[in-house]
Amino acid sequence: MSDFIDNIIEKEKESLRSNILRRFLSYASIGSQCDRHNPVVPSSKGQWELLKLLDAECNRLGLVSELDENGYLYVFLPASSGCEDVRTVAFFSHVDTAEDAPGEIVNPIVHDNYDGGPVRLKNGTILPEESPELLLYKGDTIVTSDGTSLLGADDKAGLAAIVSALDFLLSHPEIKHGPVLFVATPDEESGRGTSGLDYNRIKGCACYTMDAGLEGELETDCFNAVKAELIFKGVPVHPGTARGLLVNAVSMAALFVSMLPRSESPEATDEDYGFYLPLAINGSVSEARLELFLRDFDFSEIERRQDAVLAYAKAVEASFPGGSVQVAFTTQYRNMGEFSDRDRQVIDYAVIAVNKSCGKVLRKKIRGGTDGARIAEELKMPVPNIFTGAMLMHSVHEWVALSAMQKAVETIIRLTNIWTKSDNSGII
């Protein structure tokens, strides 16, 4: 019985791959960058466009689909006959893309039968030295942008995987599953992906995010995240008569940034080490503003960095008599690993599904966050993140392998089936 789903997937392999690729290209072609400066959620028209496309597609498939006024799409697949009492499994993916690189006009390129060498784009080249994981997919189909924008595989590969899995389950009623919920969220990249989420719909669900990562990755820890907002107040004076009087807020902000330890920056850290990230700075002589991200897996390290920020702010004030620095901290999300020991089946079943689909499980910590971090904190339960294959995210060299997206679909199918047997001996 353990080969039951394997046999079905093998028979449908080419059709499944074709459907995943078609969907992904359709979603990726819609520019849906978030706008963190826009207080409205969804913060961009492109997100609404993609949400409406998904809503219409899911309705055509025969799924129960509802797009609410807050920009959250809830899609429901009823349980197989006899599995109505099985716990609902919920999968989350976000429709927005990051602001780190251009992304409003996206032209996906399909590279069939990748030869293991440089991937030539319209603008630039992706080298295997830059992303050694490419060599895992020699002979496979690779999808990139044309090099002038990000691709949007973060997280449209997740969207394509979930919708393709639901489509597959509809087409194969012989694969037993309990109720399945798909939630497409807006503005994950701006940190507001759960601001309008209706938690009443997901209470009691086994929740998973499908959000980027190398094939086989399963993530149960993420950064703690705090945002520091600093306002530097100067004293404007005509530069011709400024001696001893002018206090330049721009210079104050620049001095503050120079005090941040370079050894604790994103470009100087990896693995378990956190960082300071000056994200945006703007202003004038009279007032300058700085947005600063603090990240670490250990919250005591976040607190240490908060103390350091306050100390640097005082040092700047001391260097610019008459100037002032205001500092405000906002906790954006906590490490979802705090809840890993609760409701262990959520993680254990994911491990089985990923291992069955990929032949391996790569346990990693997310050097960032997902909507799952906020959901985990709200529900006080683990919300693991499952790979989708997206690599070099947030850059114009972003890419995804078709085989990785296929494995993500297989993982979803197997995971929903595993939950039909509480003793963990179901058909997988």
CB 188 within 8 A of CB 144: no
- State how far the Cα of 231 lies from the Cα of 252, in Å rounded to an integer: 10
Q: Is 188 a catalytic residue?
A: yes
CA-wise closest residue to 202 among 93, 96, 91: 91
Tokens of 337: 């690993």
- State how far the Cα of 43 lies from the Cα of 36, in Å rounded to an integer: 7
- State how far the Cα of 313 lies from the Cα of 117, in Å rounded to an integer: 49
CA-wise closest residue to 218 among 394, 129, 340: 340
Q: Is 96 a catalytic residue?
A: yes
- State how far the Cα of 51 lies from the Cα of 361, in Å rounded to an integer: 31
Which residue among 35, 55, 96, 211 is the active-site one? 96
CA 50 to chain CA centroid, Å, is 17
Our CA angle for 132, 137, 142, nearest 5°, is 100
The alpha carbon dihedral of 279, 280, 285, 287 has a sign of negative
Which residue among 55, 155, 187, 188 is the active-site one? 188
Cα pseudo-dihedral 329, 330, 332, 338, rounded to 10 = 80
DSSP 134: G
Tokens of 69: 């006024």
Q: Give catalytic residues, as residue numbers.
A: 96, 188
